[in-house]
Amino acid sequence: MARNLTPDICVIGAGSGGLTVAAAAASFGVDVVLVEKGLMGGDCLNYGCVPSKALIAAAERAHAARMSAQFGVHVDGLRVDFAQVHDHVHDVIAGIAPHDSVERFEGLGVTVIQAEGRFVDPSTVVAGDATIKARRFVIATGSRAAVPPIPGLDKAAYLTNETVFELTRLPDHLIIIGAGPIGLELAQAHRRLGAEVTVVEAEKALGRDDPELAAIVLDRVRAEGVEILEQAKVVRVEEGGAGPAVVVEASGDERRIEGSHLLVATGRRPNVENLGLDAAGIAFDRRGITVDKGLRTSNRKVYAIGDVAGGLQFTHVAGYHAGLVVRSILFRLPVRDDRDMMPRVTFTSPEIGGVGLSEAQARSRFADRVRVVKAAYCGNDRARAERTTDGMVKLVIGPRGRLLGAEIVGSAAGEVVNLLSLALSRGVKVGQLAGFVSPYPTLSEVVKRAAISYYADAPKNLWVRRIVGFLSKFG
């Protein structure tokens, strides 16, 4: 039987952003319809953040066991059971899934429709047997793996992030196309679990990160046995002896690489197909739906958040967008998407991340009024105790000591970025970072050390020395 629904809000997409909007609005007693054609929890829970970090955690345990002799702890007979690793990954997903389930959201008062939703006019969505006319719509359909048009790839049994976590047998030789965050995280994890791994990158590996910091990660990953080919174009994919073979061209020469499995990790593509965006008068392009600073589309009744809105493709961005949209729809408050404040982390070992403006971005905006100060992990006592001294933090300081951004590579960099993200969002200046008290010994002390180095030249300043000398005369 056809249903005609008239909720206050209709959310299309039950990933991180869509679920946050639905739960928050429902908690205020707002009538919400949530439309999802796939799995509840979206890419992050089922194919992205959660399974990848679970796999990385297993790989870290194996690596720690191999490296334990440097601490005087000897582990003999190390064995990786990849089927059990698979079970661990899916047990983690299963443990989180009830929080994102249909049952939970229906319990919150949300009407959940498990069907594809599409606009049929600027104010109407059809999903399954329901016709939905809402006061406001929120599109949160996320993104999927982008598959490049490589000759022969369509005939190969390739993996993406949506299928790689289904493997129950460790690949003998995993070939990965793409050396961005996803490609390198999975490359290192599979290598630590015992696979041979080759990564092919058309440009620079970790090309969006600070080159000085990225080099520290790449050196470690290569040292662990991952082969990373940069400036290497994939010419075609062929059938190999035991699996796919990738033919690459680098420096004018061709090389054929045979593997047991092939993973494509060449970026993400926004999910804008079959939404009826033209019928709704919503502008979009290959990067996603076009939105203004308040995340509204060209149809003023419709918002777009997260990956589908273009820009940074992180789960925490979708959550941030969701909070902005809730404030706008429910409380009519002006909101602004400030992407300069968004933290980012790649969970390799060592981790690499940052927040705010990079050194290059800051110099393009403020020219010679930018100072960059650094502190190395090798000067941190906790890092020395844990033998994790590969790393550094960079603070990008603007006029009047204002923190413009920060970049970090090293052990637990993702946790240290939390401190830097808070400092940036609150307008903290370098003097305040230099003055905060950090427990000893912790890795976060590296931030304080970097901030203190901003004042390293103060003792050499003639006027400062004269003032100190003058004040000393008063006892």
pLDDT (tens, 9 = 90+) of the chain, 475 residues, equals: 789 999 999 999 999 999 999 999 999 999 999 999 999 999 999 999 999 999 999 999 999 999 999 999 999 999 999 999 999 999 999 999 999 999 999 999 999 999 999 999 999 999 999 999 999 999 999 999 999 999 999 999 999 999 999 999 999 999 999 999 999 999 999 999 999 999 999 999 999 999 999 999 999 999 999 999 999 999 999 998 889 999 999 988 999 999 999 999 999 999 999 999 999 999 999 999 999 999 999 999 999 999 999 888 999 999 999 999 999 999 999 999 998 899 999 999 999 999 999 999 999 999 889 999 999 999 999 999 999 999 999 999 999 999 999 999 999 999 999 999 999 999 999 999 999 999 999 999 999 999 999 998 766 767 766 776 777 878 6
Q: How far is CA 52 from CA 254, 275, 307, in A?
A: 32, 29, 18
Is 183 assigned a ligand-binding role in the annotation? yes
Q: How far is CA 215 from CA 154, 218, 222, 223, 444, in A?
A: 33, 5, 10, 12, 22
Is 15 assigned a ligand-binding role in the annotation? no
pTM for the model stands at 0.94
Burial of 254 (0-12, 13-18, 19+ CB in 10 A): exposed
Which run of H or E residues covers position 143? strand 143-145
Sole residue written with tokens 């589309």: 297
Is 181 assigned a ligand-binding role in the annotation? yes
Check: CATH 3.50.50.60 for 3-144+269-339? yes
Is 219 assigned a ligand-binding role in the annotation? no
Q: Selecting from 3.30.390.30, 3.90.1150.10, 3.30.9.10, 1.10.3720.10, what CATH number does the domain 350-456 have?
A: 3.30.390.30
Rounded distance, CA 82 to CA 85, Å? 5
Taking each helix axis as running N to C, give the angle between helix 16-27 and helix 315-331, from 0 to 180 degrees, rounded to the nearest 10.
30
Is 142 assigned a ligand-binding role in the annotation? yes
List of residues 6+ apart from 457 with CB closer than 8 A:
none
Is 133 assigned a ligand-binding role in the annotation? no
List of residues 6+ apart from 391 with CB closer than 8 A:
216, 350, 376, 377, 383, 408, 409, 410, 411, 413, 446
Rounded distance, CA 151 to CA 235, Å? 7
DSSP state of 427: T
Is 453 assigned a ligand-binding role in the annotation? no
Same fold, 3-144+269-339 and 350-456: no
The residue type found at 417 is V
Q: Selecting from 3.50.50.60, 1.10.8.60, 3.60.21.10, 3.40.430.10, what CATH number does the domain 153-266 have?
A: 3.50.50.60
What residue ranges do the domains of the chain occupy? 3-144+269-339, 153-266, 350-456
Is 346 assigned a ligand-binding role in the annotation? no
- Please state the length of the chain: 475
Is 141 assigned a ligand-binding role in the annotation? yes
Is 249 assigned a ligand-binding role in the annotation? no
Is 179 assigned a ligand-binding role in the annotation? yes
**Phi, psi of 339, deg, nearest 5:** -75, -15
Is 180 assigned a ligand-binding role in the annotation? yes
Is 178 assigned a ligand-binding role in the annotation? yes
Is 379 assigned a ligand-binding role in the annotation? no
